[in-house]
Structure 1
Amino acid sequence: MSILTKRHEPDTLTFNGVTVRVNTSFDTILRVLELQQDKLFDDAEKLYITLEMLIDDHQKLNLKKWEEISAVVNQALALLSRKTADADSAPVIDFNIDAERIYASFLQDYDIDLSEQQGRMTWQKFIALLNTLSDDTPLMKAVGYRVMEIPPETKGKERERLMKLKRHYELPTQRKEREQAILAYMERLKKE
C-alpha cells in the first residue's frame, strides 16, 4: 500500500491471537538501531529491550520463551523492513554520525524540526522524506562526496580538494575499506 493511500492507522502485529500496537516512530527505530551497536548489552538483553521499545503492551502477549520473544521482535521489524529502502547496497548514511546533518537537512528542506516530531512521525514517513532530500542539504552534500568517483582527468589542486572532502565525509566503514585497499596495494608492490 502506498504512503499516499494508506490511512494513518497504528501498525499492529498479531501473535497467538493477540493484537498489539507496534511503535514505529522514527526516534524509537533509531534507538533500536543504536541499541544493536551497543556493546554494553548482550544479545538476549538487546532482544528484550527491543521488545520493550517496540511494543508497549508486550505483557498482553504472555511471552514465556526466548523463541517467542524473538519471533515477535522479528515480526515487528518485518513491518519496518517492508517500508525501508534497499538494504543490500552499501550504507552511505550513518544515523549516529549524520544526526546533525539529518536534523539540519529536514529543517532546511521541509521546515520540520525532528525533535518536535519524536513519537509522532513514523519510520515510513521519515525514510520517505530522508530519501527525497534535495542535493543542497548538508546530508546530501556529505553523501555526494562519499559516493563520488573522482574522474581520472581531475588533476592538481581540484583533485586534492575533492580527495580531502571525500576523506572528511567518509564513514568509518569507508575509511576501513580505503585503508585496506592501500595496504593491499602496498603488499602487491612488495611482491613485485
Structure 2
Amino acid sequence: MRLNDPLVTSFAFEGKEYAIDLSFDNVLDVFDYLNDKTLRDYEKAEICLALLLGDQSFDKAITIDLWNHVYESFIHIESKQPIEYDRKGNPMPVKEDENKNFIDLDKDAEYIFASFQQAYGMNLYREQRKLHWHEFQSLLNGLPSDTIMQRIIQIRMWKPSKGESTEYKQSMRDLQKIYALDDEEPEEVD
C-alpha cells in the first residue's frame, strides 16, 4: 500500500480492463469460499471472480490465471517476518512462532468489530460496501494496544519467562486456552 496511489477499483489483465469490488466484506466472503472444502479449485476461482468482478462470463482458458492474478495482487495477506542476519551475513533461522497467525478474521470477528468501534468509532456493519480491503487491513494492523483484539493477540503470543509467578503463568495459560485458534494447546513450559 502506498499513500500516493489510489485505492484499487479496476485493473487490466491481458489487455482487458476489469472493475473490481474490494470492499472488506466482499473479500471476507471470498475467504469463506476459499475455505469451502466441498468446492473444487476451479469452482472457487469462478465464484470468487464473480463476487469481485461481477457476474460475467470468463474465458475458461484464463479463469485460473485471472484468479491467481487477482488473489496475489489485491487480496493475499503477506505476513513475512524480516530476515535477520548473523555477523557473517548468513540468514538466521526463523522461529516457528514468528510465521504463526495470531488472528483469524472469522473466529475473531466480534473482537475485531469491538476493537474498530473502540479505536476508531467505526461500526463495521455500516462500513460494508464502503470500506476498502486495503483500508481495513491497515486499520486492523494499526489497532492500539488497549483494544480487545490486541490484548488477545498478546495473550496468544505470550511465552512464560523467568520471574513470572506460578499464578500468573497459570492465568495466562488459561487465557490462551480460551482464546486459542484451531484448538491449539499452549506450550507447557516453566
Q: TM-score, normalised by structure 2?
A: 0.81
How many equivalent pairs are there? Answer: 172
Show the counterpart of 1:133: 143
Secondary structure of the corresponding residue to residue 18 of structure 2: strand
What amino acid is the match of 2:168?
Answer: E
Q: How far apart in 2 are the matches of 1:117 and 1:73?
A: 26
Equivalences for 1:9-48 in 2 at 5 Å? 10-48=8-46
Show the counterpart of 1:6: 5
Deviating 4+ runs (over 3 angstroms): none
1:31-79: CA deviation from partner (whole Å, max 9, x where unpaired): 11121111232222211101101111543xxx332x4101111111122
Secondary structure of the corresponding residue to residue 114 of structure 1: coil
Give 1:81 shift.
4.9
1:76 to 70, 83, 86: 70
CA RMSD of aligned residues (A): 2.3
Show the counterpart of 2:106: 96
Q: Is the 8 A contact 1:134 1:140 kept in 2?
A: yes
Q: How far apart in 2 are the matches of 1:50 and 1:18?
A: 18
Tell me whether 1:86 sits opposite 2:96 in the alignment: no
Structure 2 unaligned runs (5+)? 82-98
Q: Is the 8 A contact 1:101 1:139 kept in 2?
A: yes
Q: Is the 8 A contact 1:93 1:143 kept in 2?
A: yes
Q: TM-score, normalised by structure 1?
A: 0.80
1:80-104: CA deviation from partner (whole Å, max 9, x where unpaired): 257x452562211101110000000
User: Which deviates more from structure 2 when the two are superposed, residues 92-101 or residues 144-153?
Assistant: 144-153
Q: What is the percent sequence identity of the aligned residues?
A: 26
Greater fraction helix: 1
